[in-house]
Chain A
Amino acid sequence: MLKITNLQKTFNPGTVNAKTALRGLNLELQDGDFVTVIGGNGAGKSTLLNAIAGVWKPDYGTIELDGIDVTNLPEHKRAKFLGRVFQDPMKGTAPDMEIAENLAIASKRGIKRRFKWGVKKSDRVQYKELLSTLELGLESRLSTKVGLLSGGQRQAVTLLMATLNRPKLLLLDEHTAALDPKTASKVLYLTNKIVSENNLTTLMITHNMHDAIQYGNRLIMMHEGQIVVDVCGEEKQKLTIEQLLQLFEASSGSKFGSDKAILSK
């Protein structure tokens, strides 16, 4: 359903700060794939997700979603197909607006917005039910400004917003990295629940090898703007961190560059 062909991107080309983030990357996802993405710092993981989301145009290559070429579609038009959760918990929600208002905006993603009342009574009932599935007690705080919530709560609300209108593809950019371990595992649990209940095609970046192996049906590892390891199905289920590191060293010819990823279990 997602097909990326020969994707290339260099930031600050022609300057001393030039940084090639993607070097002819190819990737194809099937419907319902839950893919975890892992790689060292500067491997191009976030660049890949941003390219799919349309934050900027790639230098070369194409991105297709369900057979539609979206390479030149601006970010807000592409949003129709995508649910996104960012690494920064502050980025996915509007802090000065109520939880219900945030959800109302998300409920119209990809749908023509009209001069109709933004948050109707019936919407509130629906949002209450949805929020109660998070089990964070937010269902009684529909009128609370999102800015008053904790980082973990905001990230959980963002997750709900990203999936309120079933996206073709869910993009999770290290969405638990900024949270404390306990909160991170709760958000990850919610993620897995929502993804499997709705059978969502998902790309999840993580810095945690353990999580990368535990979640999803396919794992890709990136190095210097390319995919160097790609395992799925049964092979992935049996994978250990040691095997993963060996696979990485064999295919990239270098040591895995992130102690943080190796050490976090």
Chain B
Amino acid sequence: MAFLNALPGAIAEGLIWGLMAIGVYISYKILDIADLTVDGSICTGACVCAVLIGAGCPVIPAVIAAFLAGVITGIVTGLFHTALGIPAILAGILTQLILYSVNLTILGSKSLATIDPRTNHLLLNMSDNPMAIVVMVVIIAAVIVGLWLFFYTEIGLTLKSTGDNPDMSRAQGVNVKLNKVVGLAISNGIVALAGALLAQYKGSANINDGRGAIVIGLAAIFIGLSVSLKIKPNFVVSLIGVVGGGVIYYIVYNFVILLGLKTDFLKMLSAVIVAIFLAVPYLKTAYFTSQKEVPPMIDEPMGGDADA
């Protein structure tokens, strides 16, 4: 019964993290970059939104400002990586550290900024979970449609090829460096958008919001894709799967809390989930492939159907 009571909240929060996971999907799956900026940029989004609303800014402009702040964090990481030649993973770590200082500054050297849902008009709040779920579904649908339109344009296709095969992309005249910066900007913009929504949902922005966000994002991606790729391996289904992965993650998370796991161990649990998903494909090939499973070598004519 306690679990059922917690369910709407878990779904609402899961949707917010699912939106963030879409941002991680763009860097991790499309650009093939493990971008650790995310831990900082989600917090930046939350801080910008909370502080602006606290200063009397209407909610929509505050959310847009948070998104743009995220875009800038992505550009910073992108330039560290492409213009200064810093390995992508380190570039993300550096920006993340920079953002800790930036976020503290935004919060006015405090560790917390609260938003009162009774005096401010917010898009969503944990006091009304059904409404929060509706709002999140609408926002996520808009983001997925926008990304779908973008990634199938002439420019969008080159963003996909940049992560898929940079050599081929350069040979076809694609500016791989610029594309990485653009991709990271979009990715972190979405992550910061999720941060802004998280701040409204919780009614506060905390300097420690977002610690381990990248791991939650990856967990959502792995859980989601393990299901959605079996259904239909296309872009939109994958993104919906990723959001679903975020929701499943949060339902499990709440369930585990109800089972009595000490909350101190929750981050460890996230990390273990991701470690398992990363390890399974490797373990399968390294230890569980017996020779019998290897198909016999066939001298197949290259023409396939036409030659046969």
Contacts and interface: CB of A to CB of B under 8 A. Distances in A.
Contacts of B172: 79, 105-106, 108-109, 161
Interface size class of A (residues with CB under 8 A): 35 or more
B157 interface: yes
Contacts of B164: 94-97
Contacts of A91: 165, 167-168
B306 A136 contact: yes
Interface residues of B, number: 31
A96 B304 CA distance: 20
Contacts of A110: 173
Contacts of B170: 75-76, 79
A186 interface: yes
A113 B182 CA distance: 15
A93 interface: yes
Contacts of A257: none
Interface in A44-103: 53, 75-77, 79-80, 82, 84, 86, 90-97, 101-102
A94 B160 CA distance: 9
Contact of B155 (A84, A92, A115, A136): A115
A86 B167 contact: yes
A101 B157 contact: yes
A252 B153 CA distance: 53
Contact of A186 (B161, B168, B299, B302): B302
B152 A137 contact: no
Given A76-B170, A117-B152, A136-B303, A105 B157 contact: yes
A94 B307 contact: no
A137 B303 contact: yes
A116 interface: yes
Given A113-B158, A150-B300, A137 B153 contact: no
Q: Which of A105, A110, A186 has the most CB of B within 10 A?
A: A105
A53 B231 CA distance: 42
B160 A116 contact: no
Contacts of A150: 300, 302, 304
Given A76-B169, A119-B152, A137-B304, 15 more contacts: A79-B170, A94-B160, A94-B165, A97-B160, A104-B154, A105-B157, A105-B158, A117-B153, A117-B154, A118-B157, A136-B304, A137-B307, A150-B304, A183-B302, A186-B303
Interface of B: 150, 152-158, 160-161, 164-165, 167-176, 299-307
Interface of A: 53, 75-77, 79-80, 82, 84, 86, 90-97, 101-102, 104-106, 108-110, 113-119, 135-138, 140, 150-153, 156, 161-162, 180, 182-183, 186
16 contacts: A76-B170, A76-B174, A92-B168, A92-B171, A93-B165, A94-B164, A101-B157, A102-B161, A102-B168, A105-B161, A105-B169, A108-B173, A116-B154, A117-B152, A150-B300, A182-B302
